Structure 1
Amino acid sequence: MTSELSAPPILSTPAEHTFNEDPTSSSAISQPNRPHRSDRELYEVYEIARTASEIQQNGWNRVALQFPDAMLPDAPWVVGALGTELRKGQAEMHDQNQRLYILADTSYSACCVDEIAAEHADADGVVHYGRACLSPTSRLPVIHIFTRQALDYDAVFESFEREFPERAEKVVLMADVMFQEHVEPISKMLEEKGYANVIATEILRDPTGTIPNRKLITSDTSVHLNEYHLFHISTPPTSLLLTLSSRLSSLRIYPTPSSPYTTASEIPDPSATPGLLRRRYALVIRFATASIIGILVNTLSVKNYMSTISTLKNQIAAAGKKSYTIVVGKLNAAKLANFAEVDGWVVVGCWESGLVEQEGLWKPVITPFELALALQGDESRVWTGEWWGGIEGVKAPTTVDGSDAKLLDQEDTAKSVPEEVEGGVDDEESEPPEFDLRTGKLISHSRPMRVAIRSAPRSAPEVDAAGLSSNQGSASSAVAKRVVGDIALVNGVASPGAEFLRSQRTWQGLGTDFNARDEEDEEEESAIVEEGRSGVARGYTVGEDELRT
């Protein structure tokens, strides 16, 4: 006789994973303080009329709509309202239907335009909603809809008056792009209240400006920002806090409920930014002794990111270090931990996404600006408090005489043997030893490329009767052709990665038959490298032939 179960068996699916509720619901969707807005309010917030007008003027037929997580609940409504508005003007502008696509999960940072996801939809352009870093795009045109957010002017004035009771204080008034339309009216209100030294700002698409993407509205050309305080409406990103901390006298923040970064109970303390900068400098000191540097690509949309990668390679090579370029999508500690041989990472991204929080990461992750400091010698490295997070402003390395440094490619590395000085010691060997300033330990491989050059044999290769050098008959596909000193060589060029595989990897494969093979046996031929698929998922290209999926 069987009895009914009074409780689920131990191996059954837990109740919280049934399909009655979504176990992975977005935190943005479940925000308890999310205001309810009518259709008329949403029509104004998302600027439906302006968006439809610009889409029709640009002649876009396939449009990608990119939403941050906090605005995803409104995405279906926006698509419906925007589609209705487009159909109204369809007869006048175009005799064809526009197709709208929602881009939800961005490939990298939500502040950047996701051109990769838009290309999967074969979009003609992108409409980016909400907070934006305003970095120039590389392939697709974009319409920025910052959204129109309400603001209580009286509450802003009360907060401003508490922070600056003296009417003669010099203050720069700035707001997040979502609240930019309120800056000018608040500035006029403050002027009427007796504040005569308040300078308003307006949006100017220039991430490298003294105040990123902002222009001071003043006729005075001799303004010294270090004499001014900053009053920022809405919580700014940490990268902006660090950037402005050394450029203005002090920072003040007026929090808003619509901030995409923090809630009202999580307002960052601007006075803590010097401590954050000191921690960034500690990462620079830790990074200074890194021998293998990973160039971490955190964007595929920001203009000139490819040239920045080349410049970073030049800088690293000029310092005698090895670099590898890695693309992993959205960053997390587990992904970066797969590359154990990399001593540190430098991020290629916009001025906001270039700052990666160090929590949970095993190796330091720094910005290109910090990399330039780390590659300098201990004698010339000076920390002034300046900081920058993006790829803008990255300059090619220069030599002592001021000329551009040349990238050390394989051929140059093999030929660039240091000159000997008196006593048979070369310039590299006469340099003082390097120590880790944090631990005091001697670092012998902080410049592996120069170490390999120093260890390379100076004598000419042996030549047999046939006139061939002794190493010309060896297989060029070997991972490590020879080992000189402490660094393995690949085709005669130093390779710290091959050295890591040779000396530190403990796993030797699934079987031992190959590893136990005598050295005199014929080496196994390497597999032929063939070109694989390229392109986006909707239409791959294989070699010269096209394959549609």
Structure 2
Amino acid sequence: MAAALSSPEEAVLARTVDASQVNEVERALATWDLERVFEIQRCADWIRDRQLTRVTLQFPDGLLKWAPSVANRLESLVGHRLAILGDTSFGDCCVDEVAAQHLNADGVIHFGDTCLTPTQRLPVLFVFTRWPFNRGAFFLAAMNVDAPRVFLFFDVRYAHAFPPEDEATPLGPVITCQPVQPDIDNPHILCGRRCPIRPGSNDTILYCGRDLKYIQLLSLTFNPCQLLQFDPEAETLQSPVSSMKRELMQRFYLIERAKDAQRIGILVGTLGVSRYRDIIERVNRAIQSSGKRSYTFLVGKPNVAKLANFPEIDLFVLIACPANSIVHSKEYMQPVITPFELDVALNQDRAWTGQFLANFQDILPGQTEHIDFQPNSEADPDISLISGRLRPMSMAASPALEDQASHALMAQETRLSNINDQGGGSFLQSKSWQGLEQKLGQTEVAMAVPGASGIAAGYAGEGVVGGGPQEAQL
């Protein structure tokens, strides 16, 4: 667990860029020119066709080196100025609509890796860029894959190597899952790719790329299937997941922690994904209907230091895109789970079957995996698998409205305050140190005296033996 309770100021200056991204783009530019790697002509046509005048260009850290060149070339084609977005509010794969709206933008062009999540407000053009890919080495390495069907997923930056019109491969029965534009109403989109049919337990998922987050997303989404990874840089085929059974047991453990939690924090990790308000409302209602307390936090990119500032929270639910929703919370003080896992924990009609849904939109009304929320029945005793004890009645099925909640009465000086039992205020009262106390009327009155003068870099009199307060010589 991190010792600091806030992000260090030096983090911005000390942050490094993934060298592999820079190296891959430089290799691509050695083969193709700048316009082809960044599809500049396609960007210009998109801007002109929609008659956009305030477009922002969003680049991840690894591509910022080429942002000025791309912007200058694109400005010469469209005839007006463009803005560049860097240091995004959330993940690099997500469209930063918040920063774009600060510039009053009417459109965003997103470059590089993307989760292809539907946006909330602005029109978006996704430019994957292109990285070198050795098709011959890939087919040679994957030739010995033995499976009834192979579902081919690949990093969006290698999409040029698998064009939609080229479905024929020497691997036999292969279903190529192409990246597609976001569409929340298309039931055949899985993990940002178009899958005509859902893979079965005997099928194999073959992934081309090196994105660890996407590998984790594929492994949990298609956990009954065998997962193989082709590393385009090393040109090797390997199995990236050591034990899927252990991974699923860890997720099930987090679900049990959610059942035991009394105070649950809702981490809003995105403000640009479509229907994020709907999932926040659903999660909040589910928590309150289960007799628990909910608190909402807008934190941007969550890290250990940020969440450590809220020790009274028992568990966090992260609202983010599928690629950033799965958080390994070993270093965190509290577990961090997905909205789907919370629904499994609190919804009586949704049982844990091993199925995993990282996309929160799948459980919203109108989607194929939506199940109406039904609190756990109070008549059925519920034993915690963590503590082995019977869970309190306040955590059972009856809706815990504010006027029905138990209250603790606390005397503070001459005032009486109502504190919700099991709420954050009750947690604070259990602490021996509760912050600075004013102690009005108890502090001796003293005359004001001159203080230090000057600037913070060096106040007058500092470093001088016996030096007292004096006027700064500016």
TM-score, scaled to structure 2 = 0.76
Deviations 1:222-270 (A, max 9, x none): x7633321212213514422343336x311111124xxxxx98997713
Which residue number corresponds to residue 414 of structure 1? none
| Residues paired across the two proteins, number | 411
2:64 is aligned to 72
1:101 alignment partner AA: A
Instruction: Report the Cα offset of residue 144 of structure 1.
Output: 0.6
Q: Within the alignment, does 1:172 sit opposite 2:166 as a pair?
A: no
Distance, in Å, in 2 between the alignment partners of 1:255 and 1:361 is 31
Out of 199, 202, 208, the position equivalent to 2:175 is 199
- Alignment map for 1:46-125 (pairs within 5 Å): 46-87=38-79, 98-125=80-107
| Alignment CA distance shift 1:38-1:233 (3 Å) | closer
Describe the shift of the 1:405–1:446 C-alpha distance in structure 2 as closer, same or farther (beyond 3 A).
closer
Aligned position for 1:323:
294
Q: Return the letter of the residue paired with 2:192.
A: N
How do 1:311-390 residues align onto structure 2 when only pairs under 5 Å count? 311-376=282-347, 382-390=351-359
CA distance in 2, matches of 1:383, 1:227: 21
- CA contact 1:283–1:366 (8 Å) conserved in 2: yes
User: Is 1:276 aligned to 2:247, yes or no?
Assistant: yes
The 1-side partners of 2:91 and 2:105 are apart by 19
Counterpart of 1:26 in structure 2 is 16
Instruction: Find the aligned partners of 1:267 and 1:299 in 2 and give their Cα distance.
Output: 33
Write the letter of the residue equivalent to 2:363.
V
Once the two structures are TM-superposed, the CA of residue 214 in structure 1 deviates from its matched residue by 2.5
Q: 2:21 touches 2:63 (CA, 8 Å); kept in 1? A: no
Instruction: Find 1:135's aligned residue among 117, 140, 153.
Output: 117
TM-score, length-scaled by structure 1:
0.66
Instruction: Name the CA distance, whole Å, in 2 between partners of 1:63 and 1:346.
Output: 33
Shift in Å at residue 515 of structure 1?
9.5
Shift of 1:113: 0.4
- Paired residue secondary structure (2:361): coil
Matches within 5 A, 1:142-161: 142-161=124-143
| Partner-residue secondary structure (3-state), 2:82 | strand
1:403-434 deviation digits (Å, cap 9, x = unpaired): 7669xxxxxxxxxxxxxxxxxxxx97x874x6
RMSD: 3.6
2:191 pairs, out of 168, 192, 212, with: 212
| Alpha-carbon separation, structure 2, partners of 1:57 and 1:277 | 47
* Unpaired runs of at least 5, structure 1: 1-21, 88-97, 258-262, 397-401, 407-426, 458-477, 483-487, 517-549
Task: Indicate conservation of the 8 Å contact 1:345/1:366, yes or no.
Answer: yes
1:313 aligned counterpart, secondary structure: helix
Q: Are 2:267 and 1:296 aligned?
A: yes
Structure 1 contact 173–201 (Cα < 8 Å) conserved: yes
Partner of residue 391, structure 1: 360
Q: 1:226 to 1:267 in 2, by over 3 A?
A: closer
Q: CA deviation at 1:209?
A: 4.0
Deviations 1:471-530 (A, max 9, x none): xxxxxxx99634xxxxx34xxxx67122223333622533334799xxxxxxxxxxxxxx
How far, CA to CA, are the matches of 2:217 and 2:253 in structure 1?
20
SS in 1 for 2:228: strand
How many percent of aligned residue pairs carry the same amino acid?
32
Match of 2:177, SS state, is strand
Bigger mean CA offset, 381-390 vs 329-338: 381-390
* CA contact 2:191–2:218 (8 Å) conserved in 1: no
Distance 2:167 2:373 in 1: 49
- Asked whether the equivalents of residues 291 and 445 of structure 1 are also in contact (C-alpha less than 8 Å), the reply is no
For 1:255, the equivalent position in structure 2 comes to 231
Cα shift at 1:369 = 0.5
Structure 1 counterpart of 2:222, which letter?
Answer: S
Where relative contact order (Cα < 8 A, 6+ residues apart) is larger, the structure is 2
Q: Which runs of 5+ in 2 are unaligned?
A: 1-11, 366-370, 409-413, 444-474
2:434 aligned partner, one-letter code:
W
Partner Cα separation in structure 1 for residue 380 and residue 407 of structure 2? 18
